[in-house]
């Protein structure tokens, strides 16, 4: 029975807040209910799903409105987990880029509501997660031992050519790569070795680019002696879900980089439809590069090690 760490929800308060907007340009925004998720999970052998809010989070609101909506969403998540304790966990949403408010909501969501982790976007405004202003929050998250699910969002640069295509089709993978690079070369991952991150969609393009990224000092001598101290080692201690990525194209490179112990199952439901959850499960089951024990770990046990609250409930 699988544990799905990349499973989105659209709580009623959030659906009302984005009504009439175009939250992710070019993307057909789905409808959602807990019952729909449970039906898809039952059909695909998914024992439990960790729910999260995807792009644009609460960034489209004023600071006060963002704080209120984040609180509403997190309390909804807590009530849903209480109603279905063996089927759902949840990543809290934080009202970034307001770091002080995010710290306050982190404490409430983890200490009072008992949520399983936090969900962050790859960027807020024009700042990626390696930006210095976010490090105090990441340090507190690391100190608490809270797991972070990192989800891409629409590129902040307004002059990026999109060829008339939705950003989630391909640009999301580059956004995940950009935020990981910012964390690597800012030294955040070196300074926060206990920070537990799950990168979406097999880490974007990181498995393909991992070795290339080590050539920084070769290309620009000013990078000599600067972080990361061990780029490949830093990437290998991160976690990666396989939402939209359970294919023979992506899994060999990801497995070579991360090893089976740092890979997790993900579906991306409902932003990818129910039939894709089935397709991703089938790809996960069919991939020949894992032993049976590795496949079982990726599908279930790796997630339960990361999320002890969920493990205790199920």
CATH number at residue 185: 3.20.20.140
Mean pLDDT computed over 175-184: 98
pLDDT in tens, 93-122: 999 999 999 999 999 999 999 999 999 999
pTM (2 d.p.): 0.97
- Residues spanned by the domain of 29: 2-313
Q: Is 162's pLDDT higher than 90?
A: no
Q: 269 — phi, psi (to 5°)? A: -70, 145
Mean pLDDT computed over 58-81: 98
Distance of CA 222 to CAs 91, 189, 190, Å?
Answer: 39, 20, 19
Of the pLDDT bands very low, low, confident and very high (cuts 50, 70, 90), residue 231 is very high
Q: Is 159's pLDDT higher than 90?
A: no
User: How many angstroms separate the first and last alpha carbons of the chain?
Assistant: 11
Mean pLDDT computed over 299-308: 98
Instruction: Determine the Cα–Cα distance for residues 129 and 151; give it in Å rounded to an integer.
Output: 11
| Number of domains comprising the chain | 1
Distance of CA 156 to CAs 160, 175, 178, 213, 229, Å?
Answer: 9, 9, 11, 22, 28
Q: Is 198's pLDDT higher than 90?
A: yes
pLDDT of residue 156: 92
pLDDT of residue 29: 93
Here the tokens at position 217 are 């000092």
pLDDT of residue 40: 98
Please count the residues of the chain. Answer: 314
In sequence order, the 6+-apart residues with CB closer than 8 A to the CB of 145 are 194, 196
Mean pLDDT computed over 51-72: 97
pLDDT of residue 227: 96
In sequence order, the 6+-apart residues with CB closer than 8 A to the CB of 100 are none
DSSP-assigned beta bridge partners for residue 148: 118, 197
Average pLDDT of the chain? 97
Q: Is 158's pLDDT higher than 90?
A: no
Q: Is 194's pLDDT higher than 90?
A: yes
Q: 249 — phi, psi (to 5°)? A: -80, -45
Instruction: Determine the Cα–Cα distance for residues 259 and 261; give it in Å rounded to an integer.
Output: 6
Instruction: Determine the Cα–Cα distance for residues 141 and 198; give it in Å rounded to an integer.
Output: 13
* CB 149 within 8 Å of CB 198: yes
Of the pLDDT bands very low, low, confident and very high (cuts 50, 70, 90), residue 124 is very high
Instruction: Determine the Cα–Cα distance for residues 160 and 126; give it in Å rounded to an integer.
Output: 13
Q: Which of 91, 18, 111, 101 is nearest to 56 (CA)?
A: 18
Determine how many CB atoms are found less than 10 A away from the CB of residue 50: 30
Mean pLDDT computed over 157-178: 92
Q: Is 160's pLDDT higher than 90?
A: no
* CB 124 within 8 Å of CB 175: no
């Amino acid at each position: 029975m699988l544990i799905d760490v990349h499973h989105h929800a659209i709580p009623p308060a959030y659906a009302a807040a984005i009504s009439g907007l175009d939250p992710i340009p070019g993307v057909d925004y789905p409808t959602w209910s807990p019952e729909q998720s449970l039906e898809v999970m039952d059909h695909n052998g998914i024992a439990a799903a960790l729910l999260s809010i995807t792009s644009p989070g609460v960034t489209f609101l004023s600071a006060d409105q963002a704080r209120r909506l984040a609180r509403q969403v997190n309390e909804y998540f807590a009530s849903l987990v209480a109603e279905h304790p063996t089927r759902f966990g949840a990543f809290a949403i934080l009202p970034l880029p307001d770091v002080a408010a995010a710290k306050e909501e982190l404490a409430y969501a983890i200490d009072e509501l008992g949520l399983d982790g936090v969900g962050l976007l790859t960027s807020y405004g024009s700042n990626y997660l390696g930006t210095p202003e976010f490090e105090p929050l990441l340090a507190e998250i690391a100190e608490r031992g809270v797991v972070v699910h990192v989800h891409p969002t629409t590129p902040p640069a307004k002059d990026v050519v999109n060829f008339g295509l939705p950003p989630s089709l391909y640009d999301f993978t580059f956004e995940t790569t950009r935020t990981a690079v910012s964390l690597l070369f800012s030294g955040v991952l070196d300074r926060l070795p206990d920070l537990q991150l799950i990168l979406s969609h097999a880490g974007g393009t990181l498995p393909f680019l991992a070795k290339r990224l080590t050539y920084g000092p070769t290309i620009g001598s000013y990078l000599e002696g600067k972080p990361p101290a061990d780029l490949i080692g830093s990437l290998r201690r991160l976690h990666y879900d396989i939402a939209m990525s359970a294919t023979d194209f992506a899994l060999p490179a990801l497995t070579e980089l991360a090893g089976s112990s740092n890979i997790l199952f993900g579906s991306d439901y409902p932003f990818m439809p129910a039939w894709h959850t089935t397709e991703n499960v089938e790809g996960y089951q069919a991939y020949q590069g894992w032993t049976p024990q590795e496949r079982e770990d990726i599908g279930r046990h790796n997630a339960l090690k990361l999320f002890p609250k969920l493990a205790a409930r199920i």
